[in-house]
């Protein structure tokens, strides 16, 4: 047995409270190296002096009143197998060890003090058990229940709909011009959103994720000038309140984008630094490395410069990085966080460049949001492994680009083999507690990526297949505006084309498909949150994938030949040939 590969860590995604007293315990081992893992567990204070008890856990006088549970293989990655047991412990304290039997017949015990030969297990319960000392509900990772049955819809406000031409910026491009440049304006606004809420309700989505709406000079508004003002080109606070109230009346939750990593260089704070330099009262609001600080005009209006005397977002002179460890900056940003919840009743914050802001700040941010509103959802923009932010005291979820990226890399770009995709999906799920994976934000595209149909090289059957596959996964889906009408677009700014509202230019078949897909997802939200992901078949050669999510199962044909399949229940969603086969790019989801 490869004992060096055995890994466990208490109070992490390897041992955590799922509900108030149900604990999930996981252990990782080398792939195909283990025959059986048994969890030995019990309350650390439950001892008997009668000499009666579990013989595995007996020392000379006393017996630990422990229980045994055979662990189930939960997931397999390229290198590892993960085993899991779910145990309920009414006394809210847990000691545990793992009895591990190798495929080679070796038997060991994995304890808090390391790996020991099985015979020494007799004393382990007393001296070397892993421990969850007390189940603190306050420390349990919790996400709002409502997050489970969402289907989000992402709106880039400048490009969604122009409902009021009187607030347009100067020189707006014609809405029909489908070649946006980086600096272009089209005149989209909040009135446009209000006017099209029927569209969202018909589609069935029940969450709006707004890219930034606060006052800023660019079309994307990621360079905030004033966090307490709605951008005048989008409307005003009164109109924004109207949008939120109207959305809520339709059962639609609203998430705003907060850019707290950096501020726009047109902000009064940064302008004050440029003007007063070392004498500026805002000099400690930023990460300034030397004076004098020069603005972007001194670096030839460069979009990017590595020769700056201050830290920025990437190398963008227009986006000076905020010093979130500074008490004044904290007070300023935390009041903004509370303000939009308190005054406008928003349901969620999405946090831009969240990974470059300190953890200490995000913990305070979380506390402020929780105090302002029950069941608040916080989504961080983190593109890589995100465990440090997902312990329970910072974010509810992150934008799950790694997860959905693996799906795209197999289905659409063929960068991964089928087994590599499955290994990656499994590995991502094993990074997080189950209740975290349930609410992860699954996007196939966004304002920061090419559109899914473009990545699929315009193949709409393939796009439908990959969407259906994604909607069957753990985590909640998000539609990027216009995907429902089969909009195309490469990397930004091309993925930020104006929404297609001319009926003759909309793909109504794609809309009908999304409507069905959203309805399916909402109907099965609970099942898809609670159930595990079981791979029943993954045939590299034929490209046939079969998976189960509780009462649902799906068959996806990613190969080159049409195949027959066994009917196994009522069809929920499908893309089949006229004679009922699964053609390449086809699929069927059963109940
Ligand atoms: Ca407008």
Where, residue-wise, is CATH 3.20.20.80 in the chain?
Answer: 150-260+346-529
Rounded distance, CA 260 to CA 461, Å?
40
300: left (phi over 0), alpha (psi -120 to 50) or beta: left
Mean pLDDT of all residues belonging to the chain: 94
Summarised one tens digit per residue, pLDDT across range 160-179 is: 999 999 999 999 999 999 99
Phi, psi for residue 40 in degrees, rounded to 5: -105, 120
- Tokens 């104006």 identify what position? 498
Q: How many CB atoms lie within 10 A of CB 62?
A: 16
Q: Is the dihedral of CA 527, 532, 533, 534 positive or negative?
A: negative
Residue 269 or 302, more confident = 269
272: left (phi over 0), alpha (psi -120 to 50) or beta: alpha
Residues written for the chain? 591
The predicted structure's pLDDT at residue 126? 58
Question: Per-residue pLDDT averaged across 56-69, rounded?
Answer: 72
Summarised one tens digit per residue, pLDDT across range 552-571 is: 999 999 999 999 988 889 99
The predicted structure's pLDDT at residue 300? 52
> Does residue 352 carry a catalytic annotation?
yes
Q: How many CB atoms lie within 10 A of CB 223?
A: 21
The predicted structure's pLDDT at residue 48? 78
Q: Which of 352, 427, 445, 483 is catalytic?
A: 352
Show Cβ contacts of residue 314 under 8 Å, excluding neighbours closer than 6 positions. Answer: 304
Q: Which CATH architecture has domain 3-139?
A: Sandwich (2.60)
Q: Ligand 1 mean position to 528 CA, how many Å?
A: 40
The predicted structure's pLDDT at residue 120? 54
Q: Of 57-71, 489-503, 515-529, 536-550, where does mean pLDDT reach its minimum?
A: 57-71
Give the class (CATH, top level) of 532-590: mainly beta
Q: Which of 381, 408, 427, 483 is catalytic?
A: 381
Summarised one tens digit per residue, pLDDT across range 222-253 is: 999 999 999 999 999 999 999 999 999 999 99
Show Cβ contacts of residue 155 under 8 Å, excluding neighbours closer than 6 positions. Answer: 193, 208, 209, 210, 211, 481
| DSSP string over 313-354 | STT-TTSBBB-TTSHHHHHHHHHHHHHHHHHH---EEEETTG
Q: Ligand 1 mean position to 406 CA, how many Å?
A: 38
The predicted structure's pLDDT at residue 295? 73
**Whole-number percent of the chain with pLDDT over 70:** 95
Beta partners for residue 346, in sequence order:
none
Asked if pLDDT for residue 56 goes beyond 80, the answer is: no
Q: Which CATH architecture has domain 150-260+346-529?
A: Alpha-Beta Barrel (3.20)
Rounded distance, CA 301 to CA 107, Å?
67
Asked if pLDDT for residue 302 goes beyond 80, the answer is: no
Fold of 262-323: Oligo-1,6-glucosidase; domain 2 (3.90.400)
The predicted structure's pLDDT at residue 118? 86
Where, residue-wise, is CATH 2.60.40.10 in the chain?
Answer: 3-139
Q: Ligand 1 mean position to 272 CA, how many Å?
A: 31
Asked if pLDDT for residue 309 goes beyond 80, the answer is: yes
64-78 burial, b at 16+ Cβ within 10 Å, e below that, comes to bbbeeeebeebbbbe
Q: Please give, one letter per residue, the 3-state secondary structure of 9-47.
A: CCCECCEEECCCCEEEEEEEEECCCEEEEEEEEECCCCE
Q: Which residues surround ligand 1, an ion (CB under 5 A)?
A: 162, 164, 167-168, 187, 189
The predicted structure's pLDDT at residue 130? 96
Q: Ligand 1 mean position to 192 CA, how many Å?
A: 8
**Whole-number percent of the chain with pLDDT over 90:** 89
Q: Ligand 1 mean position to 229 CA, how many Å?
A: 17
Q: 506, 424, 574, 571: which is closest to 196 by C-alpha?
A: 506
Asked if pLDDT for residue 123 goes beyond 70, the answer is: no
Q: Ligand 1 mean position to 163 CA, how many Å?
A: 6
Show Cβ contacts of residue 198 under 8 Å, excluding neighbours closer than 6 positions. Answer: none
Where, residue-wise, is CATH 3.90.400.10 in the chain?
Answer: 262-323
Q: Are 519 and 572 in contact (CB under 8 A)?
A: no
Question: Per-residue pLDDT averaged across 365-377, rounded?
Answer: 98
Asked if pLDDT for residue 53 goes beyond 70, the answer is: no
Q: Please give, one letter per residue, the 3-state secondary structure of 83-115.
A: EEEEEECCCCCEEEEEEEEECCCCEEEEECCEE
Q: Are 270 and 318 in contact (CB under 8 A)?
A: no
Rounded distance, CA 276 to CA 326, Å?
19
Q: Ligand 1 mean position to 235 CA, how many Å?
A: 8
**What end-to-end distance do the CA atoms of the chain give, in Å?**
40
> Does residue 427 carry a catalytic annotation?
no
Whole-number Cα distances in Å, 165 to 175, 251, 336: 11, 29, 29
277: left (phi over 0), alpha (psi -120 to 50) or beta: left
């Amino acid at each position: 047995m490869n004992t060096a590969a055995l890994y466990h860590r208490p109070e992490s995604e390897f041992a955590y409270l799922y509900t108030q007293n149900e604990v999930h315990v996981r252990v990782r081992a080398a792939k195909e190296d283990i025959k059986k893992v048994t969890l030995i567990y019990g309350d650390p204070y439950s001892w008997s002096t009668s000499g009666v008890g579990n013989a595995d856990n007996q020392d000379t006088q006393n017996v630990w009143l422990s229980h045994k549970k055979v662990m189930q293989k939960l997931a397999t990655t390229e290198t590892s197998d993960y085993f899991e047991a779910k145990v309920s412990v009414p006394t809210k304290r847990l000691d545990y060890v793992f009895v591990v039997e190798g495929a080679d017949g070796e038997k060991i015990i994995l304890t808090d003090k390391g790996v020991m030969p099985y015979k020494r297990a007799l004393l382990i319960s007393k001296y070397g058990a892993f421990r969850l000392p007390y189940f603190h509900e306050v420390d349990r990772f919790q996400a709002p229940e409502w997050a489970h049955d969402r289907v989000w819809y992402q709106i880039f406000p400048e490009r969604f709909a122009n409902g009021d031409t009187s607030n347009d910026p100067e020189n707006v491009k014609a809405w029909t011009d489908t070649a946006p440049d980086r600096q272009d304006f089209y005149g989209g606004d909040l009135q446009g959103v209000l006017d099209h809420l029927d569209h969202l309700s018909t589609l069935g989505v029940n969450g709006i994720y707004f890219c930034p709406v606060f006052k800023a000079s660019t079309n994307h508004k990621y360079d905030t000038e004033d966090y307490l003002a709605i951008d005048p080109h989008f409307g005003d606070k009164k109109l924004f309140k109207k949008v939120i109230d109207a959305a809520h009346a339709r059962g639609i939750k609203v998430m705003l984008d907060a850019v707290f990593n950096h501020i726009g260089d047109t902000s009064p704070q940064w302008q004050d630094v440029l003007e007063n330099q070392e004498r500026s009262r805002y000099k400690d609001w930023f990460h300034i490395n030397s004076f004098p600080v020069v603005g972007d005009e001194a670096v030839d209006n460069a979009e990017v410069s590595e020769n700056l005397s201050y830290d920025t977002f990437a190398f963008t002179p227009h986006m000076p990085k905020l010093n979130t460890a500074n008490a004044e900056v904290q007070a300023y940003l935390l009041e903004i966080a509370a303000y939009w919840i308190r005054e406008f009743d928003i349901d969620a914050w999405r946090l831009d460049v969240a990974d470059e802001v300190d953890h200490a700040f995000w913990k305070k941010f979380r506390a402020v949001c929780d105090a302002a509103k029950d069941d608040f959802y916080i989504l961080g923009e983190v593109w890589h492994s995100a465990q440090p932010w997902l312990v329970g005291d910072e974010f509810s979820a992150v934008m799950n680009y790694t997860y959905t990226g693996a799906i795209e890399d197999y289905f659409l770009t063929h960068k991964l083999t089928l087994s590599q995709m499955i290994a990656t999906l499994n590995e991502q799920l094993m990074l997080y507690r189950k209740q975290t994976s349930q609410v992860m934000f699954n996007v196939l595209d966004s304002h920061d990526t090419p559109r899914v149909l473009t990545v699929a090289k315009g193949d709409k059957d393939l796009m439908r297949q990959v969407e259906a596959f994604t909607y069957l996964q753990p985590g909640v889906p998000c539609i990027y505006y216009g995907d429902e009408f089969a909009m195309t677009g490469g990397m930004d700014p091309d993925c930020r084309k104006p929404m297609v509202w001319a009926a003759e230019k909309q793909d109504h078949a794609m809309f009908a498909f999304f409507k069905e897909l959203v309805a399916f997802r909402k109907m099965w939200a609970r099942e898809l949150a609670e159930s595990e992901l079981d791979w029943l078949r993954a045939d590299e050669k034929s490209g046939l994938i079969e998976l189960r999510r509780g009462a649902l199962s799906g068959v996806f044909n990613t190969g080159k030949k049409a195949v027959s399949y066994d009917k196994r229940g009522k069809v929920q969603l499908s893309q089949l040939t006229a004679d009922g086969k699964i053609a390449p790019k086809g699929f069927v989801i059963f109940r």
